[in-house]
Amino acid sequence: MENPLLLRVVTLCDVDHRISDITASPVDFVFCLGDLEDVWMANRVEALNPRYGAYGIRGNHDVNAPFPSNIEDLNFMNKAVVVDGRRVRLAGVPGSWRYKPYGRWLFYQDEVSEMTDAMEAADILISHNCPANIGHERPCESLAEDTFSVHQGFLGINDYISAKKPQFLFHGHQHLHKTTQIQETVVIGCYGETLHEIPL
């Protein structure tokens, strides 16, 4: 078996100001996990200067516009990058559950399941929302919220994990730092700016 790649990955999500002090280099990938202001995000990617690029998906508080030019769009898409002669497959799932009738990047469960069913397998999946029912959903802040389970995860992501077995999933939206193993996938809840070192 070949030696695993050790990748240095920075995730950005949910707060568009720095809440850590990552200065170590080099960084291999930056993943933008949503709910970020575009100019800030582009500047941060430029400063981190990832060797294999920055990839993004949109969150429920984001604009409906193309990403800044130094960030590649991964919204319901697959892309592959060659790292040290190995093909690293990426996939992305944007948005959150449709907790209100109007707004961008809001989806019903069935809409996401249809999209994730059609997506190809990946080594690394990035998403704004988390899988459902794995203990990463943010508790509701009021009884009114509870009625609608505002922060419910996407069942389509659970199904993607079962069927396509990504090695890693990075998600935002839930404002937590938490890692949970689901079958063969390490699910990493991210908040703010975080450096991860992962073997692939």
Nearer to Zn ion, 78 or 99 (CB): 99
| 102 contacts: CB under 8 Å, gap ≥ 6 | none
Q: Three-state SS for 40?
A: helix
Q: Which of 110, 10, 111 is nearest to 51 (CA)?
A: 10
Q: Residue 27 half-sphere exposure, CB side, CA atoms within 13 Å?
A: 22
Between residue 57 and residue 86, which ones bind Zn ion under the rule CB under 5 A? Answer: 59-60
Binding piece for Zn ion, criterion CB under 5 A, among 55-63, 79-87, 100-108, 147-155: 55-63
Q: Which of 7, 10, 27 is nearest to 193 (CA)?
A: 10
CB of 3 to Zn ion, least distance (A): 37
CB of 96 to Zn ion, least distance (A): 5
- Contact mark string toward Zn ion, 20..49, x via CB under 5 A: ---------------x--------------
Chain positions contacting Zn ion, by CB under 5 A: 35, 59-60, 173
